Structure 1
Amino acid sequence: MRAAQLLKPGLVVSHRAAARLWQIETLATGPPDCLEFTDPALRARQGLADVRIHRIPLPESDTVKWAGLRVTRVPRTLADLLRSGPMDDAVVAVESALTYRRVDGRRRPPVTTPAAVSLALQAPLLGSARARDWLRIVDLRTGSPAETVARLRMLDAGLLPETQAEVRTPDGRRRYLDFLFRPEGLAVEVEGYAYHGTRDAHRRDIARFNQILQCPEVRSLLRFSAEDVFHRVEWVVGEVERTLAALRR
């Protein structure tokens, strides 16, 4: 990023490159090493390897200095992602930025607010109307990129589960489920890449799911990995639909 700005001083780090600096999760669509910049002067040509330059208006108020780099502020970064798409990547980024997340091994608090993102989308730029529609489907109860993608694909299929649904174990303790189809009693959990980590975590995991299955609200439980969601989400949605149909009989 520094080298690109030295070669083309007018460029501003933006889009997914800015999201990385702000510790905002994305789906990392596109070439993994491609850096994204915005040219406020609307004059720069590509000309740099592994660099994508967006030529769109960018007021100085939407930029900030970050460790010597010129970077788009968080609300503008999210607005740019919402305008440019794709939808899954943009919604993942917004939900990540607006909630507590564990990024790079550390718990990171929210880095902006819904009101700030909405305000950033008021600029009359290409894609703003669609971006505002995508902002409306953001769910701040979603806890990870995999959960976001699973929810969006279920939404596409007409499935509307509760997210982070509260249930109670027989002894009165609260448990929160990634997704719950409460009328049918179907709980759906999406586990991250390093979900267990240790033997103790694995044991706690087993105990938790045993407790969930004892909750009066839960008749059946489906568990999927993040890999399932990212690489065969059609199968995931199909399993949910088949289980719901069986529970309704």
Structure 2
Amino acid sequence: MDMLDHWLSQHDGVITRAQAAICGLSGDAVDRLVRRGTWQTIHRGVYFVADRPFTADARIRCAVWGAGTNAVLSGEAAAFWHRVISEAPSIIEVTTPRKGRSRAEGCRLRRRDIHSKDIVERRGMRVTSLDLTVLEASIGKAHIMDRALQRHTNLEGLRQADARNPGRAGASEAKRLLKVAAHGARSEGERLLIGEFRSRDIRGWVANFRWGGYELEIAFAAEMVAIEIDGWAYHSDHDAFQRDRSRQNDITPNWTILRYTWFDLTERMDHVIAEIISTVDRIRCSQPR
């Protein structure tokens, strides 16, 4: 049983019927373990040893192996598997080829063909490559790409994965994120916020307002409220950080400063707008008439 114990310790306590046979167990032996309650049947032909916690890794492994031999972990769950994000998503996405048989057990199944360079094995399981994973997991959650660019990959790797897998769901959004990452998010964020001001007919603001030798990105000059937009952490460096903080310290005695990230503007714009309007209105009401 040494081979079996080693397998289970290396694979989160999860094993398939075919893998059990490689470890020397007959089909009858597997069935006896299930009847005794020593093994739990999670999906058809996929088992979990009941003497240990059913972890997030075990749940993901069961879903992928339950979908068939050609299944590949993808999306946010793949980002968790690559350790780009720290929490496993509630929905596990698994990708299988367009042709062939597969099952959707305990997962959201996608049928598509992935370039061979973007299918890798990590900890004994098939998963989309780090770069393709980052591209796909970042749709609607751009902070994943920012974090990955800081610690795990680079723009060229992401571009190559994007080119190898055209036509996939979210490809156009991924291209936009790559463009933002290449040029920084600050100017893009400024355009987003100004566009929102215009669409909501918010008035009284000025873009690129000069004051005391500084240029404020967006300012409500009469109320002295300045809006500063930070770029991605991927682009930050010590000198830029110091310049931004020195600039803020110089204008703070006179101005109220509201700082937002690109993610604030793309993921919670309503909150941003409400905070800006509330701040401007409060100052406006407190000014002498």
TM-score scaled by structure 1? 0.55
Alignment length, in residue pairs? 186
Is 1:132 the equivalent of 2:197? Answer: no
Range 228-237 or range 132-141, more displaced? 228-237
- Please list the CA deviations of residues 36-66 of structure 1 after superposition, one character each: whole Å capped at 9, or x if unmatched: 11113543455312x0111111132112221
Q: Which runs of no fewer than 5 residues in structure 2 stay unpaired?
A: 1-59, 199-205, 209-215, 231-244, 285-289
| Deviation (angstroms), 1:158 | 5.7
- Report the secondary structure of 1:215's partner residue: helix
Quick check: 2:192–2:265 contact (8 Å CA) kept in 1? no
Higher relative contact order (CA 8 A, sep 6+): 1
Counterpart Cα distance in 2 of 1:211 and 1:80: 37
Counterpart position of 1:115? 156
Kindly indicate whether residue 84 of structure 2 is the aligned counterpart of residue 24 of structure 1.
yes
1:118-154 Cα shifts (integer Å, max 9, x gaps): 1211233244344323432337867xxxx9xx88963
The percent of aligned pairs where both chains have the same amino acid is: 20
Deviations 1:135-190 (A, max 9, x none): 32337867xxxx9xx8896365269999xxxxxxxxxxxxxxxxx63666725589
Aligned to 2:126: 70
Partners of 1:16 and 1:132 lie apart in 2 by 18
The structural deviation recorded for 1:6 is: 3.1
For the residues of structure 2 that align with 1:116 and 1:231, how far apart are their CA atoms?
26
Paired residues of 2:155 and 2:182 also in contact (CA < 8 A)? no
SS in structure 1 opposite 2:181? Answer: coil
CA separation in 2, counterparts of 1:234 and 1:16?
Answer: 25
Letter in structure 2 aligned against 1:215: D
Partners of 1:59 and 1:21 lie apart in 2 by 19
For the 8 Å contact 1:44–1:55, the answer to whether it is kept is no
Q: CA deviation at 1:240?
A: 2.7
Please point out which of 267, 271, 274 is paired with 1:235.
271
Q: Please give the residue correspondences for 1:45-56 in structure 2 after superposition, counting only pairs within 5 Å.
A: 45-49=102-106, 51-56=107-112
Letter in 2 for 1:19: A
**Following superposition of structure 1 onto structure 2, how do residues 1-12 of structure 1 map, counting pairs within 5 Å?**
1-7=60-66, 8-12=68-72
Distance of 1:11 and 1:41 partners within structure 2? 11
Contact 2:228 2:258 in 1 (8 A): yes
**Matched residue type, 2:159:** S
Partner of 1:167: none
Q: Report SS of the residue matched to 2:176.
A: helix
- Partners of 1:71 and 1:57 lie apart in 2 by 13
Q: Give 1:25 shift.
A: 4.1
Of the candidates 216, 226, 231, which is equivalent to residue 186 of structure 1? 226
Please tell me whether the aligned partners of residues 10 and 41 of structure 1 are also in contact (alpha carbons under 8 angstroms): no
Residue 38 of structure 1 aligns with an amino acid whose one-letter code is: T
Match of 2:53 in 1: none
Mapped pair 1:154 → 2:189: no
The answer (yes or no) to whether the contact 1:37–1:52 under 8 Å persists in 2 is yes
The 3-state SS of whatever aligns with 2:109 is strand
Change (3 A) 1:4 1:27: closer
Unaligned runs of 5+ in 1: 100-108, 163-179, 191-209
Pick the aligned partner of 1:219 from 255, 275, 278.
255
Output the amino acid matched with 1:62.
D
Higher normalized helix content (fraction of residues): 2
**RMSD between aligned alpha carbons?**
4.6
